[in-house]
Amino acid sequence: MIKPKIVMVGAGNVASHLAPALSFSGACEVVQVYSRHIESALALADRIPGATATADVGAVIPDADIYLISVADDAIAPLAEALPKGDALYLHTSGSVGMEALAGLSERYGVFYPLQTFSRDVELDMAEVPLFIEGSTDEVESEIRGFAGQLFRSVYHADSDTRKKMHIAAVFGCNFTNYLWTLAAELLARDGLPFEVLRPLLEETLRKAFVNSPAASQTGPAARGDRRVIDGHLSLLDGREKEIYSLLSDCIMSRRSNK
């Protein structure tokens, strides 16, 4: 079986995990990395056997089988327009952009969206990351699923509306939660305590959320309707921290009163 040749368009956090993982899985041959910044392209290409690097979109290999675009959402369409045209498969990795952003390039296009938070220097087992795909036709989607399944254990169909809602859920569950952890770490640091003291609590909270559901696992003063404790906490806070604490407490208590 001939491996498809892939050009990785982008060298950011997602691409830095995705390109090497695809290459070493044997699912495809990553032949080139493009980035506006040659240093980034070179750094990623150096991790992939046989891959070259370029910062010139005009020098992107014209006969690749797949162009996998992993750049900022607002750069997807204009960058895609500058890529070589042909019978290749064009994919992007965004959860918020419809596949129609690639519709003018070819009849074969789609989405290749891994649902995970990516940091360039943090190792991940990509096989455990759920992948959401969409193809311009059933045949194209079957092709995407075929090579994706050689790396990802869980591959799902998700159309544009579903992906957008999933992305919103991920922002609530990951990005907003991490911001709250940041506030918690800052509060602890003021009294010389490390964020690590919350590890057992956070790990147990996450475990219960998956065992029982998040709603069934809600605890704390707002879940009990304990106004005395809430008011005591608010008296120790000010500014944005106080606003957030008050808003979230009200939201939790409103759910409690509606039960």
> Under a CB-based contact definition with an 8 Å cutoff, are residues 224 and 255 in contact?
no
pTM for the predicted model, two decimal places: 0.85
Q: Give yes or no: residues 23 and 72 share one domain.
A: yes
Same domain for 135 and 43: yes
pLDDT tens for residues 122-181?
888 999 999 999 999 999 999 999 989 999 999 999 999 999 999 999 999 999 999 999
Supply the pLDDT for residue 259.
Answer: 64
- Same domain for 218 and 143: no
Residue ranges of the chain with per-residue pLDDT less than 50: none
Pairing of strands 29-34, 52-54: parallel
How far is 178 from 79, CA to CA, in rounded Å? 31
* Residue-wise pLDDT tens digits, 168-192: 999 999 999 999 999 999 999 999 9
Kindly list the strands in the beta sheet with 155-157, ordered across the sheet, starting from the edge strand earlier in the chain: 52-54, 29-34, 5-9, 66-69, 89-92, 109-114, 131-135, 155-157
Residue 105 has what pLDDT?
86
117/211 same-domain check: no
Which of 158, 182, 215 represents a domain boundary (last residue)? 158
Quick one: 134 and 245 in the same domain? no
Question: So what's the pLDDT on residue 74?
Answer: 94
14 burial level (CB within 10 Å; 0-12, 13-18, 19+): buried
Show the tokens assigned to 188. Answer: 């602890």
pLDDT of 254 reads: 93
pLDDT score, position 223: 95
Range of the domain at 127: 5-158
Say if residue 173 is in the same domain as residue 139: no
Domain count of the chain?
2
149 and 25 inside one domain: yes
